[in-house]
Amino acid sequence: MSALGDSVKLPCGLVFPNRIVKAAMAEMLGGFANAPTPSLLKVYGQWGKGNWGAVLTGNVQVDVNHLGTPFDPALASGYTDPDTNKDLVETWRQYANACQEHGPPSIVQLCHPGRQSLRFAGRRGVFASPIAPSAIPLMMGESYAQQWMSWFVFPPPREMTQADIDLVTRQFVDAARLMADAGFSGVELHGAHGYLIDQFLNPKSNTRTDVYGGSATNRAKFVLDILHQIRAVVPSTFCIGIKFNSADHNSASFEHTMTQISLIAEAGIDFIEISGGTYEDPKMFDAGQTQPQPQKSARTAAREAFFLEFASAVRARYPTLILMLTGGFRTRAGAEYALSQNACDLIGIGRPAAIDPFFPRLFLDDSLTEEEARLTLKRVSVPFWAKLIPLSAVGAGWESSYYTRQIQRIAKGLRTIVPL
């Protein structure tokens, strides 16, 4: 029997019945109200039946004024308690029930986009600035055309004040309290892909000289404060995870990244999901390749996970951490290889879940051969007009939106379409 069918117990006591986790993906089903909709509940009801070890939701933004996309679910105001906010709790309880009524625990991915908030997303207004640790604009290319397009799509951010930092910290904590009261099994802080937490952690986007910048330890203060404050107000059995960007082993930031992981581990994290990329360098969108991405070291066909080497390095330093590895898994052999190398405990599955909500059966059914236990996904073709837009992430974004459309087809009860 495959090790993929083994259960995993997190430090908080939550048990995943198997190792295959539906990873977070953009659904764009929050509607104009930016709240859980019947369509969102329907698609998660399908994933809930899929025999996943756990189901991670797509981004739930902690501030409706700052959204990654116009239709992200988000918190429109502060949260007090279940008695004061009965309607709010009931809305999110329906979401939790849809995810979990068929068994798998569900974890809500909490996010703030920071400077990666689209100009036309959120209720702050199209001319209002997004916020970031430092006033460093997002640049998706070096040419004048690319710089202008970057400015038009992503307005230059303003540097956060202490009051801003305190507010966003409270928003993360309030969101976690609401999810716990609504019945979700946990939350995952989105600390990767160039969103706000990642912006604080990264010296390229955080040039502050106060207690939030200047060193790897100081840059981790923002997320550590959020972690400590959430842990203080949710049940001890409530899971808190984090999505974390990998680092190049040869880069100067590698040891800084390891220092930050050590601090996060000491704060009592339940799991760390290893991913990678930002809007400026969208590694997280490369999962549409039919073949594994080229790596700096030699690869075998089984080593299909994009961030396997980094996960192995984290495991070597911190052997007791529960690690989830997401990005590139398409075959049972590849997933089993990652487990056999002790690189991770959990296998994150993204785009295959958008094609087949019951994907785990391919990996867990021992009667299937190795050739049958796979889902090949070719790269999505980018239309010619999209290639004319001078932004580095357009192609990757087009591919990501293809899978978002497949999620929306699941919500409508339609068959999904495998890219040809």
pLDDT of residue 143 exceeding 80, the answer is no
How many helices (H) and strands (E) in the chain?
Answer: 14, 12
pLDDT digits over 334-380, tens only?
A: 999 999 999 999 999 999 999 999 999 999 999 999 999 999 898 88
Beta-ladder partners of 22: 55, 349
Position 420 in a domain: no
- pLDDT value at residue 13: 98
| Signed CA dihedral, 28, 30, 36, 38: sign only | negative
77 neighbors 85 (Cβ within 8 angstroms): no
- pLDDT value at residue 275: 86
Comparing 10 with 396, the larger pLDDT belongs to 10
- pLDDT value at residue 280: 62
Position 327 in a domain: yes
Domain residues for 283? 3-411
pLDDT digits over 293-306, tens only?
A: 434 343 444 557 67
272 neighbors 344 (Cβ within 8 angstroms): no
Q: Which residues of 132-170 are buried (b: 16+ CB within 10 A; e: fewer)?
A: bbbebebebbeeeebeebbeebbbebeebeeeebeebbe
C-alpha 407: how far from its chain's center? 16
- pLDDT value at residue 251: 74
Position 418 in a domain: no
pLDDT digits over 371-418, tens only?
A: 999 998 988 877 766 555 655 555 567 788 899 999 999 999 999 999
Position 419 in a domain: no
Overall number of domains in the chain: 1
pLDDT digits over 147-190, tens only?
A: 777 778 889 999 999 999 999 999 999 999 999 999 999 999 99
Position 282 in a domain: yes
pLDDT of residue 26 exceeding 80, the answer is yes
Mean pLDDT score of the chain, rounded to an integer?
90
CATH number, domain with residue 320: 3.20.20.70
d(Cα 195, Cα 113) in Å, to the nearest integer?
A: 5
- pLDDT value at residue 249: 62
